[in-house]
Chains A and B, each alone.
Chain A
Amino acid sequence: MSVILFGVFALIAVACAVNLVLQRHPVTSALSLIGVMGSLAVLYLLLGAEFIAAVQVIVYAGAIMVLFLFVIMLLNAGAEEKIPGKSLTAKLLGLPVFLIFLGVVAFLIQKYSSANAPVEFGAFTGGGPREVGRALFTTYLLPFEVTSVLILIAILGAVVLAKKEID
């Protein structure tokens, strides 16, 4: 059951990700990204990390992507135009370079991942809100706080930049 669900949602995630790149209309791309987020949430759920799954939907699909969609709709961005003549180098080198890149990634994963411990569905028990909260506020307190400061700086930067535009 878990394997079937994993297969289905992994396929949906990949299909949505490919669609995200292929589509030329920003709204379609944004919706494909939501599809990716949703399928990722299901994959987290299958692994037993239910809190992360819910947060994935609430934060990414429910808040960040709504903001994306809001901006796209506000700017009323239309479909981007197809550029007719792509450069010859891109056409010739594109596929080989892509394959080499995939090979390098696969090699690195093979080399550095702990292949001795296969992933089991639902085996991860530290995914509840209590465990995640405890880890965030004890083991990972410093990275957690530093990240929040980083986000604050990013927001301030965005406000300053937007204000300059208005003035």
Chain B
Amino acid sequence: MNFLIATLIKAGLIAFVLVTALAYLVWVERKVLAHIQLRVGPNRVGPHGLLQPLSDLIKLVFKEGVIPSHVNLVFYLLAPFLAVALALVSIAVIPLGPEVEIFGFKTYLGLTDINIGILFILAIGSLGVYGVALAGWASNNKYSLIGGLRSSAQIISYELPMALAIVAPLLLFNTLSLREIVDAQSGYYLGFIPRWAIFQMPFPQIFSFILFLIAAFAETNRIPFDLPEAENELVAGFHTEYSSMLFAAFFTAEYGHITTSCLVGALVYLGGWQPLWPAELGSDFFPVIVHWFFAAICFWHATQPARWYDKFTMPVVGVVLFVLGGSFLIPFLKPILIPLFWFIAKAGFLIFTFIWIRGTLPRFRYDQLMRFAWLFMFPVAVANLLITGLLVALGEQAK
């Protein structure tokens, strides 16, 4: 019974946080892109445009959902549902932190941990293409169809290097459970170099990490691999015929895929919630210092207001940051917050990389896309796998 209640609470909490985070991811992306392109970005709705996701949502909900007359209705409606369901389900197996004690009740952060967690995520990821492909086909529109076709070809091609890239670190960890994967990356070399997969001996998985990231860009249809929705060639690709909430479903699905890929990348390659340097060297104080540093900046701005209301708003934000930073010092909250901080920081860095790349690179041409997958990524992934396997086997024999 306890298990059931705990699971329900966790499921509700995770679903709420995930959906809110996805909405704000759109805001973060627009802001970061705007700053990369020397613009301001959304800044009208709320302070710094912080209420923009809410207003977008209201717009999308109340917009008339036009269903074109020439579509295949069943698949047209099924496609966005499939896309969003498959994009959000992976979060169920992603652990968010170690075992913690809340009010004397021991539980793991994260919904569940299955012993084939990483395979489950690959399986769900490989199913994600159906939403896009069906949407393209059911729309009964040439541009949509080409978008759907491109998407299926692209995802089949990039799934292979992605799976091969992820197998190499799994050889080091000797497990498929995501929680055990993180545990296998605990500890430090020479007392300060973390044993994350990208540093782990006998063969640091840095190449594998880069391959994984590139394949993740392709799997999530992001620039430079956004050929399924290349707007200057295909209008809007597979979602040309979708409007209102059906369009929002595809949008949510895309950001859901990005979040999942970044969480998995942080878990498998960046050591999950293992801190960057050991707690003996004071890594537990790092989140406190970061929060207090930004609190100090806010207080400093309050003394030199650029706008008349800065005198009131800046101290409020500063106090909030100060309290947040201070909560990392409370012994009761510490074991929960510090792993969460490191995990979110790593995943957030990867998400930032996604946006950064979008602001930097142009789109591939279609033949370049395929050549890159089969003639570069695939051989490199195989070579990386073979070298890792050889070194792991030699290490086993030396024992």
List the A residue with the shortest CB-CB distance to B122: A58
Most buried by A among B115, B123, B125, B134: B123
Please give the distance in Å from A155's CB to the nearest CB on chain B: 13
Partner of B156, one of A31, A54, A55, A67: A67
Residues of A within 8 A of B120 (CB): 54
Q: Which of B147-155, B179-187, B227-235, B271-279 contacts A (4 or more CB under 8 A)?
A: B147-155
Most buried by B among A34, A54, A61, A67: A54
Number of interface residues of B (CB under 8 A): 27
Number of interface residues of A (CB under 8 A): 21
In contact, B126 and A61 (Cβ under 8 angstroms): yes
- CB of A17 within 8 A of chain B? no
Q: Tell me, in angstroms, the Cα distance from A128 to B125 when the chains sit together.
A: 21
In contact, B119 and A58 (Cβ under 8 angstroms): yes
Partner of B152, one of A57, A69, A129: A69
- CB of A14 within 8 A of chain B? no
Q: Assess A73 versus B115: contact at CB under 8 Å? Given A61-B126, A62-B123.
A: no
Q: Tell me, in angstroms, the Cα distance from A55 to B163 when the chains sit together.
A: 12
Please give the distance in Å from B74's CB to the nearest CB on chain A: 8
Residues of B within 8 A of A149 (CB): none
Residues of B within 8 A of A70 (CB): 133, 149, 152-153, 156
**Cβ contacts B134-149/A at 8 Å (1 or 0 each):** 1011000000010011
23 A-B residue contacts at CB 8 Å? Answer: A34-B130, A51-B119, A54-B116, A54-B119, A54-B123, A57-B123, A58-B119, A58-B123, A61-B126, A61-B127, A62-B126, A63-B126, A63-B156, A63-B159, A66-B152, A66-B156, A69-B130, A69-B134, A69-B137, A69-B152, A73-B136, A73-B149, A129-B176
Q: A57-B123, A66-B156, A76-B145 are in contact. List 4 more A-B contacts (CB 8 A).
A: A50-B115, A62-B123, A66-B129, A70-B133
- A residues with a Cβ closer than 8 A to B are 27, 31, 34, 50-51, 54-55, 57-58, 61-63, 66-67, 69-70, 73-74, 76, 128-129
